[in-house]
Structure 1
């Protein structure tokens, strides 16, 4: 239980819980202070009284002035001689004491009053009359007391009491002040309760008023009450007829005359000292339980806390009531209810925030907020072809796919908790990076490579693992590192890739470059070099490829691979491409003006095929520089995903419709097939340098190049060979029928001024060498 708790101060998710507690405390303290929940507490108490229900002791007897009495004497204002007779009859029957729930404040016939006073005098100290007064201590307070002649011979006792809101319960006074002195209440006197101060108490309403022994006033007068029924008992005489309107309700018991309230009060005081602890003690317990609820991390712990709270506030008040201790539980229950409702609502929100809806597994937010940050190893599992699998089904199979992967991982062991992110599944391991861990990942790779049954189809899942074993960085960084490593492993078609912390410097350098790219374009740090393209049949320069270069002010000339890949990764490739295109078209127009009629090739990232304004921006650039579209070739890197890029074929067709030519660059490095090449609306195929450089020594490459030439020519495409670096390869390409060649043997990429010099032949500088044999 203790391990399941978090600190309200230290937990990242503590602030909303603290707000819930503070708001609930404020609301419940105010409501408790104004006794807002008293009606509900009265209901709770009445329900508890039903559970403890018991009969009266029978030691106190009620003599009721009922309807029969009114009928006998023609009303209820009968002669006090009859009251005198009743007193004598009661003591004759053996009554211990007689108490009147009447005040006798008004004057009647003097003879009758004298007779009643004489009867009181005959039993000194054993007859008690009633007195009432309004609540409060104001000077205008009017006390209703027995007549002086009665007070001389018989003491009076307070009949004061009151109802709670909605008349759900009632309370009686311990004592009250009359004539400037403290006077016990009728119930206190009967119980022999020592009175030291004013105050009210709640009688024990578990005593059923219907069980109080009751006899009619007229039966006593007529002598029809058995002597044993009154012998040695205290007797209260009071009105019981509904006509007298001295009838009050008690919840779950019904309506009873006020005389019974004094009986129940006396029996309560005889049993012990009634105490009212109020709402603060239960409220304190509720505060403690609410804190435990909010600190709990697991739903089961929260439910147990609520169960304990409900059991406490249901059972403990019953036990306390049996000890004559009353407590008000409404503020406590309200606090627990508010905290529970808001806490469970917050838990649902947090569960949604921490759960991946595609699988109902915890997501990366849950991983980051977990205590796994010090784990030696963070592992990312990339599902390489998940999108293709899901897209191939008419129904949603993503949940079933992830579920099966989860099942296999759990069967294999090594991952106590899996987390589902957008880029795959993640888990942490207490095992550091070692041969044992890597062997385990190889085993997982084989297990996941087994066909997965989805519906009526069996599919193969391609996976790759990324591993981060550095514990000195934040968990968020380690998750990103593992993700990056998994992506690199997928691209390299490897099982796993271990993240190298040394690459942090390279990543920071790439970010720095991308932050400077716009300035580099404007300031001239970026410039365009041109590599001539030579027609092998004619031995003439027929075109040039525009290649971007960057002279960094501190790092010097940068490797194009370095910053072009970064531009791809950071969505800066469009700005870079349009810069090269604009510069190349301007230089091409200058060449044409100088009489050198040739074309230019510009590299186009497949990502730009998704740009909606690509064709419009190209057309605008051609018009601005007054260059014919047929003199421009866009080289698109061949990739296995090119056909799957949304709208790629349509965009390429629109580009061709403008008159520009398309070239498939780096041909042979992807997943090219005859169908693939036939579907692309290209004019040219450019064989990658990896197949050209050692063409004269590598028989496999020679076979591939010959096949590519035959296939491309059959489809009506020209073929360009890049990476020609020796004359033997050049002659071999001529023999094979290759159309165009470029490479360091013919010319390195050179500035535009040097290209002009090269084309002018005789004026070419010494550092420019064109070799055509």
Structure 2
């Protein structure tokens, strides 16, 4: 048969299956899908979410308890009091998930030991081995006077992963030459060898675990019926004391919850993990059957249904504590479906033959795109560039364009048209201004094709969604891109629903000046958190415009237009006046507070700016070192005149920050040349530090470089607690973003600072 005949086609299909099987084996052996596996299992847990038995009661050492007793660790007489009260109430056994390794005062230690003897049912914690993956932690057992008085000891150690989610709990462990059962195994009356462990069942709802504050126990303000005949576990549940772990499906909780979840798991039976091989082999077998089918629809249906069954199906055995890992099998199915789909993609004329990107026909056929925002990018000088390139060099040019358009979004699907047109979809009604500003900055650096530096001129158009066909919307977005290029803007909206009033666009700048005078423009303050002290030490001042008829106007719209048309001076002076006055007011109240204000590159050539700024600081009596002016990388390199202005500002004692670091000319020579006090890492990198290794390395190396040069580092765009935790580990100085606080009024900021001082005083 010929290469394109029956045997050639079948050979191609079986080669696909063979290579996929080999890649899947590597995938499973190295555990590449562990993160996805945990996520999928967490989703499946919701299918058999269940309640606790109620036989194990948590006595929380929480914020209420700390307010009652005071400092931590508590004097051990309070633990003695807890023991007596719980014993009197009829507790079956009492487990202390607290380290009592060292001695305190003799009187307190003796009082606790006496209470342990009186009770005769207290189990104390011993730490054996634990850590992320195969790491170890410090070992220890309670003070001998307490160990001898307790009913017994049990291990509180376990294995946890990089997210600090406990993945396995041992049945027993070695400590000081003896075998100790784990807390959960002892609570559930399940024996097991030292080298055996089990995975806790996180489909149990932690909220259904009966619990009571230890403050209520100490004050004898509780119903004994809650305690009588139950096993009691005492442990910390407040973030202030640490010992927090990630509970999949719930979030961070005190480690004591994990002990109880483990005990509830063992009460149901002994968990069994069959690993990933059974489903992996099943996926290969079903894939072989699917590949042998001639009907493409049946083939796709079998692969899709099998993938769904692999993801959801293990929920049934998991109800009986039998777990199966699915990601290697899902990897096999997705790989085969992806390759088959890609082959069909090529056959349908939906791919650009030069770049292998989907073309505009593919974009028009994407029905889901009607519900999403559409962004078009036009390389304005594309045809002129291609005309000067050697043969076969256009592919290299496209690769460089694509690599810049996908920065911060490596999974973005780009559609390519002729003459330098690229387009993609975004989630509807999402703010795109900052992202397009960052992409535009990337194109300021020349591309290098065939050893020639080539300047790329680009403009963006945005169609936010109007219910029209994708073809019509694409045309509108391209018109908006052309308008942006004509108006000297980086990007522009084309949205008939929100921009029907053309006269508004034409008169916006003149209205802006009047709006400042009428008080429609105001200043919002976004807090900045010092990570070493977890204290708000300042804020960035941001211009806001609330139009009496149109409501809030996007800052990216009026600030960008004002800067492009050289009308930014009055707006900047207004923001500086408000911000400096606010910072002075807060400092005069005894709050150490710094304020940051964005400075346009156009003002670096305004010779009267430093005089106005000096007078402003003197009038409001704010020390210059409390003010930081933020400049973008490209703004700071406006030539000798701009550098002279920066030096004069530094001579006044004002701090200089390099804003949006990483999106422009990030070179060692640049950092050496600009006399900045701090560097603000652009949010496009910060937002990706958790999931994107390149972004994480970029942020880590920038922090190290800045610190070596004696400069502080501010991370902007911190939107999640996970990002904040990573920045602390990286030794970042300051964080700013929604996880710290959204832009707010001065009144709201003042209240927040006041409440923070009250908590600090307490």
Which TM class, normalised by the smaller chain length?
0.3 to 0.5
TM-score after normalising by structure 1: 0.42
Rg (Cα) greater in structure: 1
TM-score after normalising by structure 2: 0.43
